[in-house]
Amino acid sequence: MKTYKDLPADGGSNIIGQVTQQVNRLQQRLASVRHIVAIMSGKGGVGKSSVTANLASALGLRGHSVGVIDADINGPSIAKMMGVRGQRIDYGDDGVKPALSPLGVKVMSMDLFLKDDETPVLWEAQTQKDAFTWRGTMEMSALREFLSDTEWGSLDYLLIDLPPGTDRLPNLVDLLPNLGGTVVVTIPSGVSQLVVKKSLTMAKKLLNAPVIGVVENMAAYVCADCGKTEDLFPSGHTEEMARQFDVSLLGKIPFDPRISIASDEGSVFVDQHRDTPAGRTLIALAEKIEAFFNHEV
């Protein structure tokens, strides 16, 4: 297989120089980030983005400097969940200034660049057929720019909220050789975990980073009146999956409708309801992420 350096000529585009410059800029930008964590699932609808938003906020509440990248270029939702939609994006001498959540979490998302709710992300090409051909490449280019052109400053944690599916994982290896680890989000449903298992397999085989653990979302429903806990789905699947893949079960977040309400309002559930069962679980997840990296060091 030929590489860029094997090309006899580049038509004057200096493509080798451009690629090298961008790689160097990315490395310099991320040199001040202590830990990079990818939040993934493979399955849509499991609450991965809400877990990301609340985990980032929980880490911030514990005194850490935190950033979040919404890597779902075509269906971004992090900006809404973290209350930064509508913030003006400023450009400084050192790059793009990220949006800042009420808790001080730095956020970068394609949603911050869209005109309104109805505006989709369209890649310019002569035909939509051509756009489809280049869409994957353009999405990774956008993510690379979010990483390299944003003024992240010094961060303890940078969380990357990955889109559903596993097709982006091979590109993530090249983009983030210093990835610290991955967190996999699932729900108790066996059908959901049929897909999530594929993501776990891909993560363990392709990413040069450990799987920190699995988070079970919507694990059970806690009655607001009597405090009784009832399963929403048949239980036990997640424990079995964790054993099968030899990974830790980091926590089981009970279903709480206020998580969805907070996301819709652009507020952070874990800040407003940290003393609830779900809030305490999210804080405990942040503590386990801390412990993982402290142990690694």
**Span 136-194, pLDDT tens digits:** 667 777 888 888 889 999 999 999 999 887 666 777 777 887 899 999 999 998 888 88
- State the Cα–Cα distance between residues 32 and 281, nearest whole angstrom: 29
CATH number, domain containing residue 167: 3.40.50.300
- Return the residue matching tokens 């990774």: 140
Give the total number of structural domains in the chain. 1
Is the residue at 1 inside a domain? no
Is the residue at 109 inside a domain? yes
**Span 222-277, pLDDT tens digits:** 877 777 788 877 777 899 999 999 999 999 999 999 999 999 999 999 999 999 99
Kindly report the pTM of this predicted structure.
0.86
Predicted confidence band of residue 5 (pLDDT cuts 50, 70, 90): low
Is the residue at 171 inside a domain? yes
DSSP annotation of 255: B
Is the residue at 208 inside a domain? yes
Of 191, 173, 174, 190, the C-alpha closest to 182 is 173
User: How far is the CA of 102 from the CAs of 51, 159, 244, in angstroms?
Assistant: 17, 17, 40
Q: What average pLDDT score do residues 45-55 get?
A: 95
- State the Cα–Cα distance between residues 81 and 97, nearest whole angstrom: 19
Tell me the angle at which helices 277-296 and 48-61 cross, rounded to the nearest 10 degrees: 70
- State the Cα–Cα distance between residues 183 and 177, nearest whole angstrom: 17
Is the residue at 92 inside a domain? yes
